[in-house]
Amino acid sequence: MAMTDTFSTSRAISPAQHAVLDYGVAATFFAMGARYRGRNNAAAALAFINGGMVLGMSLFTDYPGGVWRRISFKTHGILDGVQAALAGIGPLLFGFAGEPEAKAFYAQATSEVGVIAMTDWSANTDMPSLS
């Protein structure tokens, strides 16, 4: 067994852990939106859009914590990449790339890339049985 095999299995984020992270990220974006409202409305709008994306994907993903389970966990991973890209280029698109508020979006995009890289996208997403 290669060292990379040990690393990839021992440090992988499970679907349940990923769900917890997702709901935390959505809450963080909503808090950012509330904080930036009135001070930097473009940043607030981008934060609310990102929060809505993450919350919507989480509610519709087939993983522990998903409510309607219409999106596969693997598709969720692809959509995470889209959300990370929006967070990363959003400050430029929304016209506040050089302002202090942009740093939070750059940090979240970087963090999201790390979570995407560490998540076990082939893991079983079934809920454990209680029996």
pLDDT in tens, the chain (131 residues): 555 555 545 679 999 999 999 999 999 999 999 999 999 999 999 999 999 999 999 999 999 999 999 999 999 999 999 999 999 999 999 999 999 999 999 999 999 999 999 999 998 877 654 44
Structure tokens at 30: 């909503």
- pTM as predicted: 0.88
Q: What is the pLDDT of residue 9?
A: 53
Q: What share of the chain is helix, strand, coil (3-state, %, to 5)?
A: 65, 5, 30
d(CA 108, CA 25) in angstroms, rounded, equals 8
Strand partners, 119: 13
d(CA 63, CA 54) in angstroms, rounded, equals 14
